[in-house]
Amino acid sequence: MRNALGSVDTVLLLGGRSEIGLAIVERLVRDGARRVVLAARGAAGGTPPVIGDAEVHLVDFDAARPETHGEVIETAAKLVGDLDVVIPAFGVLGSQAAYDADPVAAAEAVAVNYGGHVSAGLSAARRLREQGHGTLVVLSSVAGVRVRRANFVYGSAKAGLDGFAQGLGDALHGSGARVMVVRPGFVVGRMTEGMSPAPLSSTPGEVADAVIAGLRSGAETVWVPGRLRWVFAVTRLLPRAIWRRMPR
């Protein structure tokens, strides 16, 4: 439950080693969050990291095992009580060339990047709806706003995730719980190491700052950086013959 000053008190990060996710958690703790659950594969039994003055718990979470996601959400709630913010921050990028060569690997990546979020998102939404409050922060991507041939397996999964998140937000309307969709552009970090940054790139910290601002304002959609909203308002309208000639 939010504290007397309206600040977030409890946070669940699904994908507890995510650079972006941890950056968001650190800022929430700085702003007053006091109980944190980091959920990651093989996390249980480890030593919790120090995140400010927060009480930090570790639980196991495997994005590729949707049958376990509901239990993970309930375990987190038993540890810290009502969940104010839930952040699914897991996924794999991969390369289109690798997916072209190995369609099974492509299907497995989509199962995590989309299917895992559907399972985790619905499980989290059920808990937030029962509580009557809380925010699910969905880390989408501009890659899903209009899918490029250079990464269409990854982009198509993000497109599905973005649509799912919007629909889930509509389904939660009036329940006290809500969904905030975050659409970063290229993020310079571990996942994109070795890749040439795209125009209007950001860092995990900049994404986290935008998420915190969105939580404070009650935003439904957050673009990072904000100028990408207008860039994609235009690119959505480009004829397909032009779009397919965009640089890889």
Length of the chain in residues, anyone? 248
The active-site residue out of 61, 99, 114, 154 is 154
The secondary structure element, H or E, covering residue 23 is: helix 19-30
Is residue 58 within 8 A of residue 80, CB to CB? The reply is no
- Please tell me the distance from the alpha carbon of residue 238 to that of residue 236, in angstroms, as a whole number: 6
Q: Considering only CA atoms, which of 137, 111, 107, 146 is closest in space to residue 246?
A: 146
Residue 100 has a CB neighbour count (10 Å cut-off) of 12
Report the sign of the C-alpha dihedral through residues 237, 241, 246, 248, in that order: positive
Taking phi over 0 as left and psi of -120 to 50 as alpha, with beta for the rest, 42 belongs to: left
Is 154 a catalytic site residue?
yes
- Please tell me the distance from the alpha carbon of residue 163 to that of residue 138, in angstroms, as a whole number: 11
Would you please indicate which residues are annotated as catalytic (active-site) residues? Answer: 154
